[in-house]
Amino acid sequence: MNHLLLPVTTVNVMFAGIIVIGFIVFLFLGSLLLSGKTVPGCIQSDGTHKLYKLNGLLLFCGANTQKNRFEKNANAIIWGKPAQTLGGKLLISGWWGIGRKLNYTGEIIVYFAFSLTTGTQSIVSYLLPLWLCLLLPNRAWRDEQRCQAKYANFWHDYCTKVRFRMIPFVY
């Protein structure tokens, strides 16, 4: 076990929640104060960030919803078809048949979309999404270590079938 990684505790989760909520409120209030004003490097006027945010939300919420539906009902319908599994435990339908952690990718996209509304004059608004680009791949790796121990041979078959972790055809 790597002792450099922080253990996940209720306090850590609460602290992370406070940071994330504060970040979103900061961006929301900033966009209200700047509405109608031109901010250098800002793409909010063309609505591109809304498209990014929508795609990120569809990916994040879609993947998590599919997983939750499958956990409640192994015969759940995903993308119009019955859920496919390996060993009855590992979902290989929908988003989970494309990538093993696409929900993390959706989360990163959403936070970058929020940051894009602030323009490019400062790195500060990009700190949270950049942090998530470091944190979530590490978390995906740790999740996979636990899944490998839990599912043994099924996990190897799953990784063969679903080759990508977070970015299809890349990682």
Please report, for residues 19, 43, 165, the alpha-carbon distance to residue 61 in angstroms, rounded to integers and kept in the order given: 21, 24, 17
Per the domain annotation, does 3 fall within a domain? no
pTM of the predicted model over 0.85: no
Q: Which domain holds residue 31?
A: 10-161
Residues of the chain with pLDDT under 70: 1-47, 49, 169, 171
What distance lies between CA 78 and its chain's CA centroid? 19
Per the domain annotation, does 111 fall within a domain? yes
Task: For residues 152 and 150, give the distance between their C-alpha atoms in angstroms, rounded to a whole number.
Answer: 6
Decide: 107 and 132 in contact? Cβ < 8 Å.
yes
Q: What is the pLDDT of residues 90-107, one digit of tens each?
A: 888 999 989 989 889 988
Per the domain annotation, does 2 fall within a domain? no
Per the domain annotation, does 171 fall within a domain? no
Per the domain annotation, does 50 fall within a domain? yes
Give the total number of structural domains in the chain: 1
